[in-house]
Amino acid sequence: MVLDILILNGVVITMEGKGLGIIEKGAVGIKDNKIEVVGESREVEKNHTAHRYIDATGKVVMPGLIDAHIHTGIGILKGLSQDVDNWMQKGLWPFTKALTQEAKVKGSMVNIMEGLKAGTTTFCDYDEPMLDIVKNHATLGTRARVAETVNEMPADLSGLKIGDVYPLDPSIGQQKLQKAMKLVDNWHHQQNGRITCLFGPQGPDMASKELLLEIKDLAIKHQTKIHMHVAQGDREINQMIKRFGKRSIQYLDEIGYLDEYLMAVHLTEATKEETRLLAKKGASMILCSGSIGIIDGIVPPAFEFLEVSDKLALGSDQAPGNNCNNMFNEMKFTAILNKCKRQDPTIFPAWKVLKLATIDAAKAIGLDHEVGSLTSGKKADIIIIDFNEPALFPLVNYPVRNVVPNIVYSAKGSEVETVIIDGRIIVDNKTITTVDERQVVKEAHKHAVEICNKAAEGITEDNNMFKMMQEGLL
Amino acid sequence: MVLDILILNGVVITMEGKGLGIIEKGAVGIKDNKIEVVGESREVEKNHTAHRYIDATGKVVMPGLIDAHIHTGIGILKGLSQDVDNWMQKGLWPFTKALTQEAKVKGSMVNIMEGLKAGTTTFCDYDEPMLDIVKNHATLGTRARVAETVNEMPADLSGLKIGDVYPLDPSIGQQKLQKAMKLVDNWHHQQNGRITCLFGPQGPDMASKELLLEIKDLAIKHQTKIHMHVAQGDREINQMIKRFGKRSIQYLDEIGYLDEYLMAVHLTEATKEETRLLAKKGASMILCSGSIGIIDGIVPPAFEFLEVSDKLALGSDQAPGNNCNNMFNEMKFTAILNKCKRQDPTIFPAWKVLKLATIDAAKAIGLDHEVGSLTSGKKADIIIIDFNEPALFPLVNYPVRNVVPNIVYSAKGSEVETVIIDGRIIVDNKTITTVDERQVVKEAHKHAVEICNKAAEGITEDNNMFKMMQEGLL
């Protein structure tokens, strides 16, 4: 058989088997959108020819990274709500209020490009209007598991004071659910299977019990998962107690939400017991170390989750919080923040966080039959990292191998040279092949300026960034 | 006057004045090795011409970053001691024992290149043999404040068990001090003033009181500073209590070491009171967030230090610990680790950590008369960051300016396009101009492999990385 692409002589990290399945001088062969063969270069070369060869000498070949939680629709707001208290209400809302659908879509494109160039091949994109945003994934060629965010909250919450119980309106929930169903009808398993859909209730505090149960039935019917914020901050817990008289995870347990259909995002405020309960019942956890660190100064209870389950994935969350949608950033912060939380340098070792961004993530989002490791039959989602950069020097394999620590603790994402998704080369020599990068950024920029001008009226003295600006500190 | 270089139309962050001194459409003019003019592009253009123009439209122009504590001599050991307990003894020592002088020097070169490409222009390099390592700074064109590490410890400590008091040998101290003095004689204020020397006792636990006092006299005589590890871990504190019957900072206070001559590195184990005492007495603190986070899982008491003094600088420490010698990494980790330590997202805001890597660092290391900000008369140490990358999108200035959060929380260092040191372009279009990068990395690589082969005999079952390797996890 003539392969389409044959990558030779790289350090191949397959993420297969009990360990990481590293092949020192390895090869990966691709036919159509799938991996055909993985093995020693010497052996693979003997039995295969290809239309295109990639020499990966001095480079690392590994599965594409999975960003299990990202809101690309607010990517255009990067850097506009940092170092503030009440991040969402005081920092973000004046800007989100000003967002147009077009700005969301244009900003989303740049946001996905950022992740893609840093080796992210699968995005669990959770936003609205997903019917429009999903087209960016189709255009760019990225793999995506998309969810339309569904809640029962009115668009304008400007009259709301911090601590007030949100008004919920079932008619709004139904309108949004209609869009979510249309998304599933139009996009589930489309683009050669690259695009699949999830259901996306925004949080237990933002929808009625009835709506959540309706969504659960739909998830079962379509055999897909529910992507949802859970215990994402004291704001949510306060809302839950005021509205339902109980904390989020107890409530979700009682309504039958804690099972393998649930991908629970954040768990910032979950206690150890709540975290273990959620893990034991089969739900996945999505850990957003960078974003929760910067927004809340909190390290979520991932260690407790891992004591019970390995269905843990990492997410970059969003640009105006994290300011960075890059899974290398998430791997490094996850390792170091957890070491600091426990004052133990041996926990969250490099090999473990690498799994959290690849094979474990694939399990957590229900896509491990297709991606997350390099083995014959899986979809060809592969990245190649150039190790000739001074920052990644040296690369040795005896008496210990340092490739994995150097990926997690040294690489920044900018060393990713090639990104292959579904068998297609989407990033070649660090340049996106499917769109004109500079043009996309330039166009989106006009929208960013427009949004900021509109948002100006909502920015007042109680916004920390505004204060810093007046003091000449920004 | 005809300038040598005129940078136009950039967002210029001068770091001058009470705030950050940002000029939206700014210009910086360079003549010889100094900044001649800083101002609005429109104005500067009217009155100046130049031999070379750099158009910085869509880019940021700011002072070069200062790495206030780095051991470049162990750069060749990157990734070889990660996720281990007893980092130094079990992880590092088998490798440092195998290090040759040549390997140190070759590895140092790659290590400096990593920092340089990520915008570091001043390195407080603290290692041995500095008489050889310093030549790398001369060759590359970097600014350096170098110290030969001085201690009284025998080279071979392999017989030592964890917890044993180190043997100290005054004759070894004198040999090393001779080298330090030779370094000062040969290199202090050399290379057009780019290279200056500090004195570098390795820590209060590794030298006698007599040697420390001798060094203090020398620092006064040469009007330079003392760069020293202080309270760098429980190992040091245990040694101090066993040998001197008191903790490091109390001891240093009693021997007259706590004053403006001291740059105290780490303070990992310093109490709040000890930290405040040190700050109050005029000593600087060097904070190595990335390295201490990964090695010890600790966030040092920088917040307490800042309550008393602004002489706080950041350091990347070393490659086998931090695994990353990049001041963008240090800025981001400093902000987020401290937010998490205090569970307060408003502390260590982006503008503050940017100061810690520029003007505050210059004060802390005693070089603020020359570098750390952009103003007429200072040395021309300048970096230009390309903001057209998707990861740095968007760049807006109303109603709030997001350039500073985007530098600290989004930039990875790989966006640094131009580095000017002492008026000379050392990195041009992301490529080092003074050496052949690939060739340097390739040569150093041979030494890395050699060192690792030699170190193999010292690596045993009690090394976590060795265990992980056997389990297929590395």
> CA of B94, closest CA in chain A: separation in Å?
11
Instruction: Write down the CATH superfamily of domain B65-364.
Output: Metal-dependent hydrolases (3.20.20.140)
Interface probe for B, chosen from A396, A397, A426, A440 (most Cβ of B below 10 Å), is A396
Q: Which of A390, A464, A466 sits opposite B441 (nearest CB)?
A: A390
Helices in A78-204 by DSSP H: which ranges?
93-98, 101-117, 130-140, 170-187
Interface probe for A, chosen from B13, B77, B78 (most Cβ of A below 10 Å), is B78
Four-way CATH pick for B2-63+373-432: 1.10.10.10, 2.30.40.10, 2.40.50.100, 3.90.850.10: 2.30.40.10
Model pLDDT for residues A364-393, shown as the tens digit of each residue: 999 999 999 999 999 999 999 999 999 999
Question: What is the residue-level pLDDT of chain B in tens, covering all 474 positions?
Answer: 899 999 999 999 999 999 999 999 999 999 999 999 999 999 999 999 999 999 999 999 999 999 999 999 999 999 999 999 888 888 898 899 999 999 999 999 999 999 999 999 999 999 999 999 999 999 999 999 999 999 999 987 778 887 899 899 999 999 999 999 999 999 999 999 999 999 999 999 999 999 999 999 999 999 999 999 999 988 899 999 999 999 999 999 999 999 999 999 999 999 999 999 999 999 999 999 999 999 999 999 999 999 999 999 999 999 999 999 999 999 999 999 999 999 999 999 999 999 999 999 999 999 999 999 999 999 999 999 999 999 999 999 999 999 999 999 999 999 999 999 999 999 999 999 999 999 999 999 999 999 999 999 988 888 889 999 999 999
d(CA B471, CA B468): 5
Interface probe for B, chosen from A62, A409, A449, A457 (most Cβ of B below 10 Å), is A409
d(CA A363, CA A356): 10
* Greater pLDDT, A433 or A1: A433
- B465 lies within 8 A of chain A by CB: yes
- A78 lies within 8 A of chain B by CB: yes
Contacts of A166 (CB under 8 A, 6+ apart): A153, A157, A160, A205, A206, A239
d(CA B12, CA B28): 8
CA atoms within 13 A on the CB side of B43: 10
Measured from the Cβ of residue B272, the count of other Cβ atoms closer than 10 Å reads 12
Helices in A255-381 by DSSP H: which ranges?
272-280, 289-296, 302-306, 319-322, 327-342, 350-356, 359-364
Residue type, B448: A
Contact yes or no for B404 and A449 at CB 8 A: no
Kindly provide the b/e burial profile for residues B8-26, where b requires at least 16 CB atoms within 10 angstroms of the residue's own CB. bbbbbbbbbeebbbbbeeb
Average pLDDT of A256-281? 98
Q: Which two tokens stand for residue B474?
A: 């590395």
> At residue A86, does pLDDT exceed 90?
no
Q: Which two tokens stand for residue A182?
A: 């249309």
Q: What is the DSSP string of A348-361?
A: S-HHHHHHHTTHHH
Contact yes or no for A351 and B85 at CB 8 A: no
Contact yes or no for B297 and A342 at CB 8 A: yes
- A467 lies within 8 A of chain B by CB: no
> CA of B292, closest CA in chain A: separation in Å?
9
CA of B404: which chain A residue's CA is closest? A474
Q: Which of B346, B399, B456 sits opposite A84 (nearest CB)?
A: B346
Predicted pLDDT of residue A404 = 98
CA of B348: which chain A residue's CA is closest? A83
Residue type, A103: A
Chain B residues touching residue A472 (CB < 8 angstroms): 17-22
Predicted pLDDT of residue B156 = 78
Are the C-beta atoms of residues A283 and A258 closer than 8 Å to each other?
yes
Q: Which of B399, B438, B445 sits opposite A459 (nearest CB)?
A: B399
Q: Cis (ω within 30 of 0) for the bond into A129?
A: yes
- A410 lies within 8 A of chain B by CB: yes
Task: Please provide residue B400's backbone torsions phi and psi, each rounded to the nearest 5 degrees.
Answer: -130, 155
Average pLDDT of A123-144? 98
Contact yes or no for A393 and B114 at CB 8 A: yes
B103: DSSP letter: H
> CA of B224, closest CA in chain A: separation in Å?
31
- The size of the A-B interface in CB pairs under 8 A is 297
Are the C-beta atoms of residues B183 and B131 closer than 8 Å to each other?
yes
How would you classify the pairing of strands A49-55 and A2-13?
A: parallel
Contacts of B252 (CB under 8 A, 6+ apart): B204, B230, B258, B262
Nearest to B147 by CA among B211, B216, B202: B202
Predicted pLDDT of residue A462 = 85
> CA of A196, closest CA in chain B: separation in Å?
25
Residue type, B348: F
Measured from the Cβ of residue A422, the count of other Cβ atoms closer than 10 Å reads 23
Q: Is B351 exposed, middle or buried (0-12, 13-18, 19+ CB in 10 A)?
A: buried
Are the C-beta atoms of residues B70 and B37 closer than 8 Å to each other?
no
Q: Which two tokens stand for residue A203?
A: 């949080």
Average pLDDT of A341-346? 96
Q: Which of B113, B391, B398 sits opposite A390 (nearest CB)?
A: B113
A2-63+372-432, CATH topology level: Urease, subunit C; domain 1 (2.30.40)
Chain A residues touching residue B473 (CB < 8 angstroms): 19-20, 349, 351, 404
Residue ranges per structural domain of chain B: 2-63+373-432, 65-364
Chain B residues touching residue A342 (CB < 8 angstroms): 297
Question: C-alpha angle with apex B19: B17 to B20, nearest 5 degrees?
Answer: 90
Are the C-beta atoms of residues B216 and B261 closer than 8 Å to each other?
yes
Give Cα B19 to chain centroid, integer Å.
24
User: CA–CA distance from A186 to each of A124, B369, B403 (Å)?
Assistant: 17, 64, 39
- Between A81-85, A107-111, B37-41, B261-265, the lowest mean confidence (pLDDT) is in A81-85
Contact yes or no for A400 and B335 at CB 8 A: no
